[in-house]
Structure 1
Amino acid sequence: MPKGFYHRRWLLVLLVGMGSLATPERNLLPRLDWLPGQSSALSAVHTRDFLQLYTRNTPTTYYEGRQGPTGFEYELVRRFADELGVSLAVDRSHHIEGVLDAVRSGEADLGAAGLVLDPLTPGIRYSRPIMSLQPIVIYRRGLNPPTSVEDLVGLKIGALANSGSVLALRNARRDHPELGWRETHELENTDLIAMVASGRLDAAVIYAHAFKLSRIFFPGVENGFELGQPLTLAWAFPASGDLSLLERANRFIDRMHANGELERLEISYFGHDDYLEYVGARRFISQTRKHLDQWTDEFLAAARKTGFDWKLLAAISYQESHWNPEATSPTGVRGMMMLTRTTAARMNVDDRIDPAQSIDGGARYLQELVERLPDDIPSPDRLWMALAAYNIGMGHLADARLLADRQGLDPDRWEDVRKMLPRLQESRWYHELPHGFARGKGAVYYVRNIRRYHEILSYVTRSQRQFAPLVNSRAASLSPSFNIVTPDAAP
């Protein structure tokens, strides 16, 4: 028997007798099923020192990025493995049913693959809800836009087998028995979008967040309407065996919800709800393809010097000048980063319309603004405030922070300062401030746009391997085996 085992068991029995395990601190105490020698799912993971994950290779779950494995669900499971103190083993070469089969058989400790919480799934226990999944109908531009289930009748519709999309179609068919579709386990959402874009499908049912992530790559595909009620993303665990690993995962998910980490992770991968209007996003992607390559080296050089992400600097430059080296405003600011004469002189920029000098000077100026902010402001709030100062000046930012403090808000949080910036345009507020009037609402839009442009560039660079083959030629070569669900087939 391992050293310390009897002591730990005696301590737990004593604590149970005292009622301690009924307190909120119970999560800090070791459970009996964690102890060496006990047979449980959790102790098995600790014994072998790794967590076995089965997933799918998709932009929303797991894929190889520039710096190694990434993806929303992969990142979440990795954090769970870190909390357990074990490494993470990933098997990603599966479709949905393959992941569920591996979980049922015990080959996988858990499945995280865009799975819908369905208590009726045989052999599977599901975790707490992770995020909401809204099935939507997408369609090829040029068709009459479908706005209801009735409009789908007679169309060639695709969906992923065993997915929430098929579940939504089956639910819709209860009231519309004439509805039919094609489903397959050989494709992923991006394949379906590509087939819609190429004309091989008229429409498809996928999740809103998956379309949001990929739609900028498929300008010929439009969002139709939401199909049914939102579903729930969850992790899958074997129904056989004990609940120790599932319970630990549930506590982890609850904590991620409570501390806001899950929401932040969701935003980092899928963007904000007030994402750039689609046409504007497409225009930005079009400009990126036409012009960004010729300035990438300059952005990379400035990024190496200042430590900023080069894509952030590119986003600032697009917001400032649309990557026009000779851009000039009525107020006299000029160049790729639209520097004033005073700022250019302070940054030793001799020629403001020289792209390399402008980008380098603008990056160093932003670095200076970040460094001038009080040390108490954390990241990333610090960066958002520095961007606002780049737009309206450090004095006006200080006024907004002062207003936040007077209103009982936190002057070190961007979200609170952002609420105060529009007040700099209202006389009843700016007359009482040291620096007077400023276009504070414009600064809010300025920071918002740069963040969205940065998000789009991040999507493009980290997802290029996922989407480029589909956009270019893969859709034409896809030959999946579809199960055709005809209108007179049983739902």
Structure 2
Amino acid sequence: MNIRTLIHFLKWLVPALALLYLPLAYLLFFQNIRDLDDIKIQGRARIILSYDPINYLIYRGTPMGFSYEAAEHFCRYLGVDMVVVLAEDINQQLPALKYGKGDIVAHNLTITPQRTAIVSFSSPLDYTEQVLIQRKPRPAAKGEPAPRLILSAEELEGKTVSVRRESAYYSQLLKLKNNQAIALSIETVPGVTSTSQLIRDVATGAIDYTVADRDIAEAHRTLYPNLDFTTTISPRQPLAWAVGKRSPQLESELNKWLSRADTKLHLRILHAKYYDRQYTFRRRTLHAFHSEKAGMISVYDNLIRSYAAKIGWDWRMLASLMYEESQFDANAVSWAGATGLMQLMPATAGMFKITNLFDPESNIRAGTRYLKMLHKEWKDIPDPETRLKFILASYNVGPGHVRDAQALAVKFKKDPHLWEDNVEHYLRLKSKSKYYRDKVTRYGYCNGIMPVEYTKNILARYNLYQQAIPL
């Protein structure tokens, strides 16, 4: 083949390969983009969040925050489970949405032209304005001019302001610099740096200035009394959630939810909880069990780590179970007599010769021994992740009811070694006489929804702990 023929062949081949592989590339990038029908069929909505002390945090083992709880409310409205997709870098939120890694960015975002080019926005959840974060002047030394606050955007001339590049704050500073010819310097910081961290850096003197939404700034007032938040640098701006441009049904349903009276009331309550109660914000932010601080879940973390290792568990899974049982209250006693951190019945603890269930270590020792026993009970479940679901459900209602659900699954030609849509389904049905009185069952009535939801809650919380807390 001579050179001319080869060139002619390549001219034909390259476009042909492009036509062949472009659809494949498209599918690889966009196959996970979903609209409302897909979300309802799959039964879960993927909510993109980033950590900060207002919108999403884990405090005393509990996932919480304005955006987290608002998104929970929306998912309940849809009748689907919520799955958190963590964007550790705030700059990753919108790209994650664009490429189908999540369904909604449930973060109060300022609507900007740059953002509108790549995503769609909901109706506004709120309105705000941007303010300059600066330190209050200290008294001047004798003979020196008195320092003064910056009182207008024009006075930023010659100053350096630190913000994230992809933030609305950066866009606003660029407008001041380019449109109003204010010769300020913009220092960009990594996307993993939260607005709260930047506010703290101003308070400690690490940087001189940053910018925040007014309500975010005001929430920090009691935490940093040396800061001033009074200088406004932007007009009033709408805040909204983001959805993909290929999800019009979801956008419409989100707007319908936002227009409801009960939603508006719920959002006002959440706003008061997370933005307006400054002393609560201070206590929550300074607490050792804040997910942005020491990486702790509870005061019992060392005990949990030690006993989880004895049964081969990730300690965060055991912590999630413990939270579900007692919310880390060592003195908790249920109406049925279940006691302590792991809510053990005295008869269960008696099998391991443990009597003082109010003692945290004794309670955890008995609980983990019982879990080890349940591991042996379910050794016939081959898949480890599936086996864990059988173990958790059994911890809640006892293995007998779960065995009954297995027997029902066999009778109705389902797989007794699978959980979702198989054993789980028949455990739910054990509250109905048709099923708990069936000849294949032995243990009678069971409010089967409880162990199913119990298992789901522990696994969902464990997923959040994995994202927030080091192993």
Normalised by the size of structure 1, how large is the TM-score? 0.47
Normalised by the size of structure 2, how large is the TM-score? 0.49
